[in-house]
Structure 1
Amino acid sequence: MKSICVVFLFFVTAAVFAVNFNIQARFNPEELIISGTLSTKDDIKNYLLLPNYASEGNPYLHALFEEKGGKIDIISVTDGSGRMLNYELITYPATLLGDESLRQRTMLTIKENVEQVVISFRTHLKKKRLPEEGTYSDFVLYRFGWYPLPVEDLEGLRISPHSWQLMLQVPEGWEGVVGGERESETVWKSNGNYLSCPLALVKKESYKELSFSGDEVKVVVHFRKGFEGTASKLAAYALQVLDNHIRKLGPLRYSTVHIMQDPFPGLYGITADGLVAIGDGFFTTADLWVSGFLDPLAFYLVAHELSHLWFGIGTSVDFLKNNFMSESISDYIAHSTMLEIYGNDYYMNWDSADILVTFIKDYFDIPLTVSQADQFMLLYAKMAGVKAAVADATDRIPQNFSSAIYYQKGKRAFFSLEEIVGREKLYSILSEYYRHYVGKNVFTDEFLSFIGRYIDSGILEALFLERENFDARVYLEDGKIKIDNGSMKVPLRVIVESSDGSSSFVTTESTSLTYFPGMKVHLDPGMHTFDIERHNNHWPPLIEGEYGKDQNRYDAYLLSTHLNIELSASGIGYTGELLFEKFPYFGFGILSQSGYLSKEGIGYNYSGALFYFRPDNYTFLKGRYSELEGIHLFAEISIPEKLFIGDSAPLLISRHKFSVEGRYLDSENFYIDGVYSFNNMLKHGLYVGMEGLVGGFDAVPTYLGGFFGTLITDIESGLLTVFDVFAAVEASGKEVLDPFYDVLSVVATSNSLDPMMSKYPATSYLLDFKFSLPYTFSMDKRINFLNLFSLGGMGTSWEFDCRIFNGGVVFGTSVILSPVIYIIGDTPIRLYFGLSLLMDAEGESTLAIKGSVSLGSSIYFNENIVSTIKEAIKWKSSGSR
């Protein structure tokens, strides 16, 4: 009887709130156009043309970073009889969406009242590879906005939930995947009010599908050929999650849920009504190195994305004003589901029987659990100086930290609610909320009022509206154990341990406990609060060794070891470190250096000490001393600033950076090196820096100054022009600079034996000018090699350079290849290989190679200009290395 009532509620909701759109569309893959008409009899005056956002370019961004290209043309607006209606294309008024220059012609406003409106439109697809609204040779995805969208609130982005019917024509060889109920080969309908009509277009020769039926919902996975195993695994996760969610949150309005393989690299998901797109990283590179290593993360992502079918898509929100009601709830549901089904929240598959797992965990520094990954994000935002409330609109949170607030802090707010009412009751409240608001838009006040029926308003204010960071702590004072919650009514679980056992309670107020010998107190042991500092959550403080099974560096002070082995032509070296750390703020300890020098035929063994200090994201200090290397100190300071690039909120980044490095081996070998850099790539494609070095090498006084920089021209074509410069001078005229600092001879065993390079020893000054023409080719389909890496793109560059120094002038031309590969975890790595022809003014020439490796995505496929003058110094003593 209960299910019958729920179904009846859905039909009532659809009848009352229906917008009733009838859409007819045709896809033309050659011209990358969707042509269509939209007909409605509802009195809708305003339609958002979402693809027109930033279609004319972003004046606040360098052209290299723009994503323009898609747009909607309005062909005609008529009434039911074909009479042309009075309408305007105006600037969408919601300032939260971004700068006015990006919102031009993004809203269709009808100026008269009629019984029926028929809009003829033409949507031009973006000719770019993107996670959504991207175009590939065999895949197109539009989650929202490929047709004019009805909007309710012109101050934000609140789409009107609407019912629709779509008649879609695609050319032979293509197939449409639509997030609605399929009526026939070409017709789909929504089951009530949906937020949109999501549409994917796939080539049949590239994509296959597997269909799995659950108790109430069928799951269809659409994937590129060759990934049947991954598709089956994701479908199993989806059926498991849907069964859990439907049982606890209520039935869905979809008989079928489609899961798409999105070709864009990365570990991500995108959800719309009845359709989920999963990033290519969970298919192409998911099993690199260690099979099944990403399984826990894949399950978590599927659980999160499917939760949106209830919250964020099922119950609609204004994505600019109330995004936490989409992301925070969905992330809480996903995390709690993972804990219930698997009993843990491992971030990766640490139980995999593969010898590489331990190496990966240590070398890549991956969090052990999802909870630890969340804590890192909260800590990262706090150390950046971010203070924001979970319910803040997007303009109040720095753009690059919004996920930490909406996902991590917001999720912890719901886990804190769970401490008060329990998980089962909280699910019941959320289920009731879903049944009441499904197919409707919800405001923050409405949501908090609804939850306020069960939770004290003071607690809700602390969890969702308070902008100050929360830091609970416990300490011994005047014979009492003090539990201090910082005057914030955040539900805090307290565990008290004694020799007789343990007890726990939840408090929202600061309190005291009578101290007795052997007493242990722990605050928030399950990481349920958004506490930004957890080392003070335990009395007495926790101290752990790094090899403990449940080691948690966010709670415990650590005794940790680090090992580094160096192999070189001079021999082999080993450095071992023992550190006492409070991650990530400071660490100090001792080190031991041992090795063997092949030239001298002797071994060595030295000891020393080291430390680091990082109070925030903008200050870093480290140092070390050993009998082998002497004293080595490094300090770096960057200046945080809010950089506006036209979007809802500015970025919180550091464009200005200062660093000082000093080495002292003995009175004859020492230096102090200072560097300033300014990174303005986002705005003007510019990166510049200055450097100065004062020191002595083998008792030779050295005074060096230098400048380096890169400029990428702000043009819109695929062929960029890049200018690099590196200049250095030794003020006293000492010849310590290597004019061939960045190349290695291929015609001799060393540069000193090269026929041309040997003519030019060290110099007192060096000017190196480079001009490059790089071109990038990104692959639609990544290719795996022996389960080691995946090739995702190739860059080529033709480079010209001129080196001016004491001995003369050397010209060079280089051919560069820059493959982009992806390794475990879909981590992108840019490789740089170059073959250079060098020729001096006398006609002497030689061949050389150059190369480098960089983690992360590249800005452009070209050489990364050397950003330190020390790379160009000819070290005359092994002791100065």
Structure 2
Amino acid sequence: MIYGTEEVRFTSAPGEVAFMLLANLGREPNPYISPRARDSTYPWGFDPSWTRIEGVSWRSGGEEGALDYDLRDFPLILQTYSLKEGIMTVKLPRGEAGTLVIRFRTRFPHQAMGEPGWLDGIHTWRFGWHPILLPEIPGNWEELPLYLPAYPYSLELSLPPGWVAALPGDRVTEEREGKGTVYHVSFARTVRSISLYIAEKGSISSFELAGEGPEIQAWYLPGDEDRVRALATYIPEILSWYGERFGPYPHKRLLLVEHPNTEGTSFAADGVVYLSRWYFSRMDLTAKGALSRAMQYVLAHELAHQWWGIGIGVDFDRGNWLSEGMAQYLSISWFEDRYGAHGGNLFVPSGKGLGEELLRNYFGFVNLREHLTELPYMDTAFMGFDEAVVKPSREVRYHQEDYERLYDKGYLVLRALAHYVGEDTFYQALREARKEYAGGEITPEAFEELLEKVSGKDLKGFFADWVLGDAVADYRVLYLRVEPLGEGRYRVRTGLEWRGSGSLPVEVEFVGEGDERKVVTWNPKKPREELSLELPFPPRRVILDPGHYVLDTDRSNNAYPRRFRVIMGRNDLPLDAYYLVVLDPMSGAVSGGYLDRFAWAIYPGERLVAGRIRYGRTGELFGIAQAADGFRGRISWTQYLWHRPATGFTGEYWERAGELKLGVLKLDTGFVPYTEIHWHEGITAVRAGVLSLHYFQGHWRLWARDTEEVALAPRTYLDLSFGFGRAYGMPAGLDFGLDEFITAQGRGYSKVFLGGQLWLPPLVDEYSLGGALLLSRVDQYLFLHVARLNEGPWVGEGGMAFVAHMEALGGLFPVTLVGGLVVPLLPQPDLQGLIFFYSVRVGP
């Protein structure tokens, strides 16, 4: 709990002022989501945050008198619940000089991310732990921009004995007051907040990094000093790189703070960056330096907010693209300048060893820009969930893709924009933006105007299509024709095609036998065009957008002839080529495809082939066939089922809620048409089930099962299942078994199943297994199964199971161990007493 007094000094008071009470947005639980979803945020049940106003007064001329104030609902900007008392308005004596005094209390909630709130005894709050003064009262509250205005904040923080604070600021002093400590904090310029990080002494420690530039102070959790020190050494390099291109770091001090959340969530505020403990506990897991470069990138992203999002403010509702997308642009640009832009550049372990070789084999191909930013955008567009990077939350149609829209597409739009105007010009514009808007706020429209002024280009079309609009594009090469002209000259014609709702100038590269290359620019005017030119060499390949500068939803057709990547041993996932895996060491298969849009595989040993084609968010076609002791197979169409549940947030959210399958089985005895409908939900409720019907030569098979979850207490749930099936005249294999059982077996033409699982609170405490594996969580549940086949006796079993979630290779490779004890509960003459069982699942 914070007991605070906020003083706001006015030289000439306006008639009325307003404050945001952001903590009250967490005062009430989200009534729309399931208890399990809520528990993912609150480890031991909902825990409210709030700010309560204890009193408001006006101090002037040595006298102080109480003022009335009004509390009103927060506007429908981000969410539709817990809006009460989100805004406070106070009438002031207009034109008078004086100080507005607000006395308040703010409560820290216990939550898994630990911000805003507390986790593992550490209290963190960046923005909104106190009332935030609005620069002006809006004419329409529902159109309130979500700015965090910058002010010349100063702070006096008193802590009781045994507590310590890690506080940003250009000047931070502390003094003893009784047995406690009083901190005094100030900045030399306006800031958006003074962030709090408060813990018991001994639970956090610090060191300072010597060197030129701003004073760097790092705070770490027990056992992580060496890792935090290693990462902190990159800060001067990153700050210098940013400073040379975008202007100097704005403060005299910088804090690097290890945060206790294990969600992998990192964040920043004025003069401070917080990095999740998740990274530090996995930095050298299985392989030395497994996450070293990934952590540098995350650090660079959070540091970039000192320039954009915090240094230059944005509307965090409508214009968050200029915060997160720009931080991506700055950090990836630094990363590629240091480590190169091409090939595997993210998971590069230090040294040699078994773990290091495994990391190279599984994840060595990963490219930061291609696989962690461009690929998610391509997947989102392929699924039909792409939309504009700039729009208010209440107009967003696909909130489930917010990260991809703001971070990934946001970065790609800025990279395309930088290439369109020229990188040097773009950097100049960013420097000009800093001069004009540091400590203030910039809108997308103002950013466009600034870029037009610096570049001299008309950018209205670009912004209309790619910033404010939801344009998509697919560029492809249709053919390449080369005609000798004599005297070492060649006439080259290539067919180019553009599909979509927006286009950009695209580089076209002609590649010869050696180092011969020629790059020209194609500015699409029509959907299909032919580019003709003379070259001093015969090109063997033409490539569209070789640098991946434009947004393209499908890169498999960017080259002619088409590219193929042969993969032998080490993993790979090309964005601009079809892949061919030769004799996969795990399965022995030969396989191929493009991303996850279509794939095929041949298993020579089993004489089996399989293939799949996906059609965006509509569905997928699947087929499998085996020619061993006869011919068997299956072909099916799966229709994805979506719904848009009310989630408590403005705008729309899509959840895949099930699938409808239509297919045909080919068995030795003939063809079996079937249909299945599956349902599964996890946001507003937790349930899953299936209803299937098979037909064979006048006979049929029906099976239905449903599981519903009931929350009994925080992180304690009861799953109740019921299943019923009947089959008449079905071929072997289409009758019913006891697949849910460990102790019972059997087949029958009818089945009744009853089951229950009581999920108990998980054991969450990371434990290293010799540095090779990390045990991160153990789920535990009691179970009871009862079933009957045909008219036979009922069988039953009960027991307890543990699911140990382990990680390897920097936390990128999961290993799951399931084990427990089970006992037959109904007569089974062959089984008596307790039976131990276990299974292991390796890999994603």
Q: Which residue of 1 aligns with 2:486?
A: none
2:556 is aligned with 1:556: no
Counterparts in 2 of 1:454-603, with a 5 A limit? 454=455, 455-457=457-459, 458-476=461-479, 480-485=493-498, 488=502, 490-498=504-512, 501-510=516-525, 512-514=530-532, 517-547=538-568, 553-563=574-584, 575-588=587-600, 590-593=602-605
Distance change in 2, residues 1:591/1:206 (3 Å): same
- Per the normalisation by structure 2, the TM-score is 0.85
Contact 1:133 1:142 in 2 (8 A): yes
1:304–1:333 Cα contact (<8 Å) kept: yes
The equivalent position to 2:107 in structure 1, one of 120, 124, 144, is 124
1:741 to 729, 739, 742: 739
Moved more, 318-327 or 526-535: 526-535
With over 3 angstroms needed to count, the CA separation of the structure-2 counterparts of 1:79 and 1:376, relative to structure 1, is same
Structure 1 distance, partners of 2:414, 2:583, is: 38
Contact kept in structure 2, 1:618 and 1:640, CA below 8 Å: no
Residue type at the aligned position of 2:518: S
* CA–CA distance in structure 2, aligned partners of residues 343 and 363 of structure 1: 20
* 2:87 corresponding residue in structure 1: 107
Name the CA distance, whole Å, in 2 between partners of 1:276 and 1:855. 35
Give 1:413 deviation, angstroms.
2.1
Contact 2:365 2:571 (C-alpha < 8 Å) held by counterparts: no
Q: Does 1:157 align with 2:146?
A: yes
Letter in 1 for 2:669: S
User: Is this contact kept in 2: 1:488–1:508, CA < 8 A?
Assistant: no
The whole-number CA distance in structure 2 between the counterparts of 1:654 and 1:640 is: 4
Higher deviation after alignment, 839-848 or 297-306: 839-848
User: Matched residues in 1 for 2:74 and 2:840: separation?
Assistant: 44
Structure-2 change in CA distance of 1:721 and 1:519 (3 Å): closer
Partners of 2:719 and 2:758 within 8 A in 1: yes
Equivalent of 1:73 in 52, 59, 66 = 52
Aligned pairs, how many? 783
Distance in 2 of aligned mates of 1:389 and 1:769: 48
- Indicate the SS of the match to 2:262: coil
Question: How far 1:326 moved relative to its partner?
Answer: 0.6
CA gap 1:228/1:391 in 2 versus in 1, 3 angstroms: same
Cα 1:725/1:464, change in 2 over 3 Å: same
The counterpart of 1:183, out of the listed 160, 163, 172, is 172
Structure 2 residue aligned with 1:614? 614
Tell which deviates more after alignment, 281-290 or 658-667: 658-667
TM-score by length of 1: 0.82
What are structure 1's unaligned runs of at least 5 residues?
1-32, 566-574, 594-605, 746-750, 753-760, 858-881
* Gap change, CA 1:652 and 1:808, over 3 Å in 2: same
The structural deviation recorded for 1:141 is: 1.6
Would the alpha carbon gap of residues 428 and 404 (structure 1) be closer, same or farther in structure 2, given more than 3 Å must change?
Answer: same
In the aligned structure 1, how far is the partner of 2:316 from the partner of 2:471?
Answer: 23
Distance 1:351 1:660, change over 3 A: farther
Structure 2 residue aligned with 1:823, among 808, 817, 823?
Answer: 808
3-state secondary structure, aligned to 1:683: coil
Check whether the contact 1:721–1:773 (CA below 8 A) recurs between aligned residues: yes
Q: Give how far 1:617 is off.
A: 4.0
For residue 847 of structure 1, what is the amino acid of its counterpart? L
Greater CA drift, 447-456 or 312-321? 447-456
Residue 585 of structure 1 aligns with an amino acid whose one-letter code is R
1:663-688 deviations in Å (ceiling 9; x for gaps): 435228x7555432222331123223
Cα offsets for 1:381-425 (capped at 9, x unmatched): 112112312323333251121222222222122222332444333
In the superposition, relative to structure 1, how do residues 588 and 829 fare at CA in structure 2: closer, same or farther (>3 Å)? closer
- SS of 1:426 mapped into structure 2: helix
**Contact 2:289–2:349, Cα closer than 8 Å, also in 1:** no
Residue 644 of structure 1: CA displacement? Answer: 3.0
Which residue identity does 1:74 align to in structure 2?
Answer: I
Distance 2:209 2:397 in 1: 41
1:506–1:169 Cα change, 3 Å: farther
Q: Distance in 1 between matches of 2:241 and 2:820?
A: 54
Cα distance in 2 for partners of 1:726, 1:142 equals 48
Q: State yes or no: 1:707 paired with 2:692.
A: no
- Check if 1:96 corresponds to 2:62: no
- Summarize the Cα distance change of 1:459–1:405 in structure 2 as closer, same or farther, 3 Å threshold: same
Matches within 5 A, 1:808-819: 808-819=793-804
Does structure 1 retain, via aligned residues, the 8 Å contact 2:696–2:730?
Answer: no
1:832 CA displacement: 4.0
The amino acid that maps onto 1:140 is H
Partners of 1:776 and 1:793 within 8 A in 2: no
Superposition deviation, residue 718 in structure 1: 4.7
On the 8 A contact 1:45/1:109 being kept in 2, the answer is: yes
CA spacing shift, 1:614–1:490, aligned 2, 3 Å: same
CA contact (8 A) 1:734 1:764 kept: no
Distance 1:144 1:83, change over 3 A: same
The residue number in structure 2 matching 1:725 is 722
SS in 1 for 2:249: coil
- 1:286 Cα deviation from its structure 2 partner: 2.1
C-alpha displacement of 1:235: 0.5
**Partner of 2:180 in structure 1?**
none
1:367 is aligned to 2:353: no
Query: Which string of whole-angstrom CA distances, capped at 9 and with x for unpartnered residues, describes residues 326-364 of structure 1?
Result: 111111111111111222361321676344456456657
Q: Equivalent residue of 2:787, what SS?
A: strand
Aligned residue identity for 2:86? T
- Distance between the aligned counterparts of 1:830 and 1:218, measured in 2? 44
Higher alpha-carbon deviation: 340-349 or 364-373: 364-373
Please say if residues 735 and 763 of structure 1, whose CA atoms lie closer than 8 Å, have aligned partners that are also in contact: no
The alpha-carbon distance between structure 1 residues 666 and 57, as it changes in their structure 2 partners (threshold 3 A), is same
Q: Which amino acid aligns with 1:646?
A: G
The residue type paired with residue 97 of structure 1 is L
Give the Cα–Cα distance (whole angstroms) in 2 for the partners of residues 550 and 856 of structure 1.
Answer: 13
Counterparts of 1:78 and 1:854, CA distance in 2 = 63
Cα deviation for residue 188 of structure 1 reads 0.8
User: Structure 1 residue aligned with 2:234, among 234, 237, 248?
Assistant: 237
Q: Contact between 2:287 and 2:359, CA under 8 Å: does it hold in 1?
A: no
Root mean square deviation of aligned Cα = 3.3
| Change in CA separation of 1:764 and 1:665 when aligned onto 2, cut-off 3 Å | closer
Q: Tell me the SS of whatever aligns to 1:53.
A: helix
**1:773 equivalent in structure 2:** 758
Q: Tell me, in whole angstroms, the C-alpha distance in 1 between the residues paired with 2:561 and 2:480.
A: 12
Equivalent residue in structure 2 for 1:145, among 122, 128, 145: 128
Call closer, same or farther: CA 1:157–1:230 in 2, change over 3 Å.
Answer: same
Q: How far apart, in 1, do the equivalents of 2:127 and 2:838 lie?
A: 43
Mean Cα displacement is larger for which, 220-229 or 110-119? 110-119
Q: Is the 8 A contact 1:481 1:515 kept in 2?
A: no
What residue in structure 2 maps to residue 748 of structure 1?
Answer: none
Which residue among 769, 773, 777 is the counterpart of 1:789?
Answer: 773
Q: Distance in 1 between matches of 2:188 and 2:565?
A: 55
For residue 9 of structure 1, what is the aligned residue in structure 2? none
Does structure 2 conserve the Cα–Cα contact (< 8 Å) formed by 1:735 and 1:764? no
- Decide whether the 8 Å contact of 2:213 with 2:236 is kept in 1: no
- Whole-Å separation in 2 of the counterparts to 1:829 and 1:576: 22
Q: Which residue of 1 aligns with 2:657?
A: 655
Does the 8 Å CA contact 1:769/1:801 hold for their aligned counterparts? yes
Change (3 A) 1:188 1:830: farther
Amino acid aligned to 2:3: S
**Cα distance in 1 between the residues matched to 2:646 and 2:288:** 42
The equivalent residue for 1:624 is: 624
The corresponding residue for 1:434 is 434
In the alignment, the residues of structure 2 paired with residue 132 and residue 338 of structure 1 have an alpha-carbon distance, to the nearest angstrom, of 27
CA offsets per residue over residues 547-587 of structure 1, 9 Å max, x none?
A: 5999762111233235365xxxxxxxxx5333342333323
Tell me, in whole angstroms, the C-alpha distance in 2 between the residues paired with 1:830 and 1:273.
40
Q: Distance in 2 between matches of 1:198 and 1:491?
A: 44
- Which amino acid is the alignment partner of residue 106 of structure 2? T
Range that drifts further, 797-806 or 727-736? 727-736
Q: Please say if residues 386 and 405 of structure 2, whose CA atoms lie closer than 8 Å, have aligned partners that are also in contact.
A: no
Alpha-carbon distance in structure 2 between the residues aligned to 1:771 and 1:148: 48
Change (3 A) 1:627 1:105: same
* Unaligned stretches of 5+ residues in structure 2: 175-182, 482-491
